[in-house]
Structure 1
Amino acid sequence: MTDFLIKSAIALASFLAFYHFVLEREKMHQFNRFFLLFAIVFSLVVPFVSFEIIKEIPVNSSNLQVVNQPLIQMQTVVEKTNYKLIFLWSLYALVTLILALRFGRNIKNFKSKISSNPAVDFKNSKLILVEEKILPHTFLNYIFINADDYKTQNIEAELYMHELVHVSQKHTLDILFVEFLKTIFWFNPLFLFYKKAIQLNHEFLADQEIVKTYNDVPFYQNLLLNKASGTQTIYLASNLNYLVTKKRLIMMKKRTSKNTAFLKKIAALPVVIGLMFLLCVETIAQETKTDIKNQKAQNASSFDKYYANTAFVFKSKSSKVFVEKKYSELTEQEKKLIPPVPSLAKKSPDSKEYEGFKNSENYAVWIDGKHVSNSELNEYQASNFVSYFNSIVHKNARSKKFPQRYQVTLFTAEGYDKAYGKNQIRDAGTITIMASEDTRKSKIQKTPEKETTATINDVERQPEYPGGILEFYKFVGKNFKVPSEEAANKIQGKVIVEFMIETDGSLSEFQVVKDLGFGIGDEAIRVLKLSPKWNPGIQKGQPVRVLYTLPITIQNKDTAK
């Protein structure tokens, strides 16, 4: 919503400035009318339009970062009511309702006058004879005039012609359109200026027809000045006396050459193109294909090194072991089920950020994976740390021991090499993965012949959640619900879910590879089924089905404390 308001305001202000400085002083009123209406419509539509420009960039593999797995805190989530937001929306609704009632009441008043007063057919309009002492004014195809003035023929032909121009060119529709937008966007003063500009342009159009028809500018100018003095403008109507100012009087004698008019009309085009480029075009950086291939090779190499000493046990849901192998013995299909190798980009905190980490009220601090007091940072400098990551701790995940809103983990060169270094090797041990042998073997067989199934490391462009993987992890964390209080107190570890990202971006073929019991796996699948469509993987310019593995770390209440 904020993005829409900002973009539309920029467009509205730009068009209005261009109109006042370039177009308003020239005698090309029909074009100006179209320009003002187009400017409003364009400004309301342009925030919803976007164009992507793909820019290929080389990638330095040393800076590649694998985002940490989502951490689900096993605690009951209490959603806070945002009273400030409720108040603002209530205020907006109240003001909008009042203005809408005012808008409706004025239209009703016109209808009441039309039905309760005599009407006379007059060319392509109807004259409504009212008792009030008023100047002629127009609403739709109705011209309201004083009954006595009509009967005594005290209304000049120029005034009738003036109102007929408003009727024939349907100026009331312009006013109703902008007045409706003023009611919805009452907080934006730009619509008030647009209404004034549109109404003044209507008078330019009507004046132009009178001068062209009667060719007596001094008489018409004096007539307007005499009739308009001290008379009030009618809301929602096209008024004879609207802003009888120096602008209108000068415009009657204004001459604009065809060349000048053409050049100024053409000048509007760069404004439109410039706004579209500013507000609609988004440049997306994309790794070159060469870099992608290098990245694939490096990823495969990092897996080989990291899991070199690890054995893998594949169990069915009934805990029956059907595969037990070392990493080097695994098939490519079995390797797809293995969790990714942890990685983190190298980047030292800046001095200002580092000083903020020393504040014990805001930050809980870890150095090389070990919790330390904030004061211990005084023994280091920001440059002593080669990498770090920090995160927000939501209120429901804080504890007495760690009540801080933020937490930060800093790595020295030695700690980084141990945790994320190129020669990083996982300690010898065994990883147990829950999987269905039949399902795993039939993955490819179930794929339609005309579709291609790929893995994350095989595609040219990987599938991506709208907004990026961080947004996906936020989505999982927000929607994940604790199945039971017992699970919240006892369960911790990692649940791994495998699913297919289809060519249209939808998710299917959910399979819990590693479960923790208590319905945790089923809950993870339920959350994934709520996911909006992803941007599918691309191979050789075509979308392909991609097998994706998601590890989710579960932490219980006791551990969080």
Structure 2
Amino acid sequence: MMYLVLANLYLCVFYGFYYLFLRRETFFQGNRIYLLTSLLLAFTLPLAEYAGFDDSVVYQYQLPMVELGGAASGPVAGEVGVAASPSSAVAYLPLLYRAGCGIAAFLVLLQVFATIRALRSGRAGQAFSFFGMIRVDHAAYGSYQMAHHERVHARQWHSADIVVMQVVKILNWFNPVIYLYERALRLQHEYIADGRTAANDQFAYAELLVSRAMGVSGPALVNPFSNSNLLKRRIAMLLRDKSPNRHGWRYVALLPVVAGMLVFSLACNHQGKAGGDTDSTEMLSSTAGTVDATAFKKALGMYVMYREEAIRNGTQGILAFTFEKTDGGTIENISFLNELGDGQEEEVRKALQLEHVQRAAPVGKSMAYIHFLLSNTEHTDTSTPSAPSGYNALGEIVIMGYQPPPPPRVQPAPRKSDQTSATTEKERFPEPTVVQVRVGENKPEAENKQEGEPKDLIFQSVEIDPKPPGGMRSFMQYIGDNYDYPQEAIEAGVNGIVQVAFVVERDGSLTDMKIIRDLKYGTGEAAIRVLQSSSKWSPGVQNGRPVRVAYTLPIRLNLQQ
């Protein structure tokens, strides 16, 4: 999306430069080259970010918290799985854009058929060309000059310019400057052909243009001799004195403009840069003023706990609720549309009363629903209630609970002095190599410093996020189902949060796995092992190209005693 915005912004700037400084000049060939070159630059300058890309550039995200067992009270560093709200207007923008492209392509296709039909049929008074195919009524007055005019169009490949403009119009149909751009390019075509045809008899040629003002113009894709919309400008430019050569400096004046666009592209493409690890709680606090559905769902999901009795009783399903946020910033009139039981309604009600959640909630009447899911069980009931009349549907929040594994088989716990047992365990679950180096390079930090390479660049967002197979919800369930509690951790009753980091490469593979926060007893290594056994993701995309994305995965361990 950023690429499209920048490209169309640059098109507007380039056309503005042409309109202010070049449209009255008689450098017709120069103006044609300028319009085509600026068209190319407008769509390549937004890609300038990649000239400075290397393997150190990654995009950093915080994954949803995976709840293994019950949930501890208070906020945690992480986010919950949030399903996008279908009511968000932004979600429909790509669909609207594709629909517009489809309509624009259909209109161009109609012009193609009209051009083919015009080339096959002969009409009285016609005079136009399309690439090397010239159609002129030789019985008409001035047919020799008209034929010469069309031959100039054909020799200079003006039809190729028109075809390129049709493609650009399909992809940028929403930008009105595109249509002015095409008109300016067509004018330069006519100025070039008129100048070559009129030679030293401009007045006689101008009379021919006027006499043909009501002639047959032909379909939109051809270069017609008669075009009443351009007639006045063509005659004025035909009789205009030649521009002095010193006015050519105006093309040179464009260089600072292009340089400014290049810097602006780099700034826009790197605006999400941040350094080091970022706590998601701080991120939410910094965006507390942004009142939208996503921020509210993230805030609420951080404080809603999956109660121990609900996990013990296997309670799961969808809990829908409505509320109203007043202008004073408080949430009132909380009502549940269904019942889940085991105290989950009370947990949601308590979370809605927290100041952090109320600050992120949208003003007015809203409805949301929380999907409580248990690992190692089938989830059959996925029906969601519709929003009552007058309520804004915010979408879904997903919270997973982990049912602890059955008691371990009777076997002695591994001891440090038991070398044989330790060796067997290491062979079964080899400890992953955790090397904290510069992301994307298998070199020690000291070596990187010696080479004088730039500091790591960390970004907060990409246009298209990486996606695991089956979506983020399936990935969270996979982690919960396949996390293997180390025997030592079970015996020690370890509780807390384990955090691991990894990078989704351009090919979707997971690399650079390292333990950020460890509870010891093999809990961090178990998280690394479950990531190593996961499938490839679809890579993240920025400006149409795959990029590397860094993720942090928090896992909360809360074994039931």
- Residue 133 (structure 1) aligns with: 124
User: Structure 2: how far apart are the matches of 1:91 and 1:409?
Assistant: 33
Q: Bigger CA drift: 132-141 or 167-176?
A: 132-141
Once the two structures are TM-superposed, the CA of residue 554 in structure 1 deviates from its matched residue by: 1.4
Distance of aligned partners of 1:406 and 1:483 in 2 relative to their CA distance in 1, 3 Å threshold:
farther
Counterparts of 1:556 and 1:455, CA distance in 2: 39
The residue that corresponds to 2:31 in the other structure is: 32
Aligned to 1:236: 221
Which residue of structure 1 lines up, in the alignment, with residue 104 of structure 2?
A: 99
CA distance in 2, matches of 1:104, 1:50: 35
- Is the 1:493–1:516 Cα contact (8 Å) retained in structure 2? no
Structure-1 separation of matches of 2:114 and 2:41: 32
Distance 1:462 1:142, change over 3 A: closer
Q: Does residue 356 of structure 2 align to residue 407 of structure 1?
A: yes
Opposite residue 86 of structure 2, the aligned amino acid is N
Query: Shift in Å at residue 140 of structure 1?
Result: 1.3
Indicate if the aligned counterparts of 2:127 and 2:216 stay in contact, CA closer than 8 A: no
SS of residue in 1 equivalent to 2:219: coil
Matched, 1:223 2:218: no
Give the conservation status (yes or no) of the 8 Å contact 2:495–2:556: yes
AA aligned to 1:251 is: M
Residue 45 of structure 1: CA displacement? 1.6
The structural deviation recorded for 1:16 is: 0.2
What is residue 496 of structure 2 aligned with on the other side? 493
**Paired position in structure 1 for 2:237:** 251
2:45 matched to which residue of 1? 46
Letter in 1 for 2:496: G
Query: How do 1:373-452 and structure 2 match up within 5 A?
Result: 399-403=348-352, 407=356, 452=443
Q: Is the 8 A contact 1:135 1:227 kept in 2?
A: no
The question of 1:142 aligning with 2:133 is answered yes
In structure 1, what residue type is equivalent to 2:348?
S
Query: What's the counterpart of residue 180 of structure 1?
Result: 167
Q: CA deviation at 1:89?
A: 4.3
Partners of 2:112 and 2:503 lie apart in 1 by 57
Tell me which amino acid in the other structure corresponds to 2:226.
N
- Deviation of 1:7 (Å): 0.7
Q: Is 1:160 aligned to 2:164, yes or no? A: no
The 8 Å contact of residues 502 and 513 in structure 2, kept in 1 or not, is answered as yes
Supply the AA of the counterpart residue of 2:102: L
Match of residue 177 from structure 2:
190
**1:80 and 1:500 mapped to 2: Cα distance?**
24
State the shift of 1:178 in Å. 0.3
Which amino acid letter does the alignment assign opposite residue 256 of structure 2? P
Q: Equivalent residue of 2:134, what SS?
A: strand
Please give the TM-score of this superposition, normalised by the length of structure 2.
Answer: 0.54
Q: 1:22, CA displacement in angstroms?
A: 0.6
Measured in 2, the distance between the counterparts of 1:232 and 1:140 equals 16
Return the offset for 1:483: 4.2
| 2:556 aligned residue (551, 554, 557) | 554
**CA offset digits 1:256-288 (Å, max 9, x no partner):** 45532321222222222222222235789999x
- State the Cα distance separating 1:36 from its structure 2 match: 0.6
TM-aligned CA distance change 1:259 to 1:507, over 3 Å: same
Whichever residue aligns with residue 241 of structure 1, its letter is: S
Give the drift of 1:108.
Answer: 3.0
In 1, Cα distance between the equivalents of 2:553 and 2:5? 38
Is the counterpart of residue 275 in structure 1 residue 261 in structure 2?
yes
Contact 2:270 2:459 in 1 (8 A): no
Given that residues 142 and 208 in structure 2 are in contact (C-alpha distance below 8 angstroms), is that contact kept between their aligned partners in structure 1? no
1:206 partnered with 2:155 = no
For the Cα contact (< 8 Å) 1:7–1:47, is it kept in 2? yes
Larger RCO of the pair (alpha carbons < 8 Å, separation 6+): 2
Aligned to 2:511: 507
How far the C-alpha of 1:353 sits from its partner, in A, is: 6.3
- Opposite residue 102 of structure 1, the aligned amino acid is L
1:507 deviation in Å? 2.0
Take 1:361 and 1:344, find their aligned partners in 2: how far apart are those partners?
Answer: 14
The more displaced of 164-173 and 507-516 is: 507-516
The 3-state SS of whatever aligns with 1:186 is: coil
Write the deviation string for residues 202-249 of structure 1: whole angstroms up to 9, x where unpaired: 11101111232xx11111111101111375553111111233443222
The code of the aligned residue for 1:187 comes to: F
Compared CA separation, residues 244 and 461, structure 1 to 2 (3 A): closer
Question: Using the alignment, how far apart are the partners of 2:165 and 2:214 within structure 1?
Answer: 27
Distance of 1:80 and 1:509 partners within structure 2: 28
Structure 2, unaligned runs of 5 or more: 54-60, 70-79, 303-324, 330-344, 360-415, 417-421, 436-440, 486-493, 541-549
Aligned to 1:127: none
Pick one of 96, 110, 133 that aligns with 2:115. Answer: 110
Q: Residue 100 of structure 1: CA displacement?
A: 2.2
Deviation at 1:28, TM superposition (A): 0.6
Post-superposition offset of 1:93: 3.7
The number of residues matched between the two structures is 401
Question: What is the CA-CA distance between 1:172 and the residue it aligns to?
Answer: 0.8
Say if 1:492 and 1:554, in contact at 8 Å, map to a contact too. yes
- What is the deviation of 1:355? 13
Identity of aligned residues (%): 21
2:86 equivalent in structure 1: 82
CA shift for structure 1 position 40: 1.3
In 2, Cα distance between equivalents of 1:97 and 1:24: 32
What is residue 66 of structure 2 aligned with on the other side? 72
Q: 1:33 to 1:557 in 2, by over 3 A?
A: farther
